[in-house]
Amino acid sequence: MTTSNPFVERYIGDGAMGQVYELIGHKPPAVIKYMFCGNDAQLEIFKNECEALKKIYHINVVRLYRYTEEGIKVGIVMEYCQKGPLKGVILDPTITYSMNTVLTWGIQLFDAIDHMYQKHQLVHRDIKPDNIFVTNEYQLKIGDFGLVKVVGDGTVTGTFGIGTQRYMSPPEMKEDGAQRDVYEQIEKADVSNSHRNDVYSLGLVMWEIIERRTIFTNYEVSGMFFDRDQLLFDIALKRVTEIESPECQSEVQEIILGCTNFQRIHRPKAAEVLDFLKQTQKANEFISSLPFMPTEDKNQKELKKPIGFDDRTEGVMVESEERKYEKRFEAGSKLKERVYALIKMEWTTPHIRLIDYQGNPRTEWLKFGAVAE
């Protein structure tokens, strides 16, 4: 631990639980994340992250150099990943990458969480694109370990609600044959934090890398608030039985759907996913022939799907959410598919959502007047 910092600091942005600054002139390049620990709980989070990072040495995990303490102001000095969070790369239209990039990134990330679990009995509990960082060489590194937890027997019971709701594993529903309503199913669900919950979150990250858009946007209210409760109800009622398949090779779809199985017991461990991704990359000569290194074109204004997602080398633009809905409805009309409407009241305003005959959402919740428009 040190008590002073001799480097000039340049503000980068806000990270989990604190602000992040680049340390100008530090060798190797480094950043410092500051927290104000005004109570024991915040200090515990800080110490938890430091202890977790000190134990882990893996090329795809952000490296801790040291930490500082000045009264209630504490800081973690760690490796600097110049291209910032993965979320920014996924949504940056000037960056184009291939399915070889996708598989290589998947191998890096699943290798990292497998190392954390196998070597250190750690689960991250907040895996998401904002907590994965990108170097100048487009290597990925997992960071922000404030919610990391040590597991002894493979699982640890924690408080339901820890993590980022969009990327959190659903609670595992009991399947003991007892008749329960949806509220009882959720209330009695197993909320243990296990290694396979990190696998679930990383499966969603892989989905976003391929789709280049955010998962579960149909569960957003007014385009901002993520309605996790509605997602859990739909899962409990079996209106939703799996996530939407990403547009890519069937073998990659299969492993992502396996990682994101709503029942934890049916998910693979990270080591199994890692082996599968390595085998797929080696066996698929087309994917392995594609370049790993992403390209950058400052004049490109629209997002492109990963090159090779459709077994072709031509670039394909990412479709907007609106166009995806239009295509679904066009396909539905051709197949004479029935579409149903759900209506709910929010205060005094009616909202409507369209679903298909299986109960799968076709639109987000919209104000009744917006549907007519």
Cα–Cα distances in angstroms (integers) from residue 111 to residues 143, 269, 274, 279, 340, in the given order: 14, 11, 6, 14, 43
Peptide bond into 129 cis (omega under 30): no
- DSSP secondary structure letter of residue 307: B
Q: Does 278 carry a binding-site annotation?
A: no
Phi and psi torsions of 96, nearest 5° = -120, 135
Q: Encode burial over 291-304: b for 16+ CB neighbours within 10 A, e otherwise.
A: eeebeeeeebeebb
Burial of 41 (0-12, 13-18, 19+ CB in 10 A): exposed
The phi and psi torsions of 67 (rounded to 5 degrees) equal -135, 155
Q: Work out the angle between the directed axes of helices 270-283 and 250-259 (0-180°, nearest 10).
A: 170
**Residue list, annotated binding site:** 33
Q: Report the binding-site residues for ATP.
A: 33
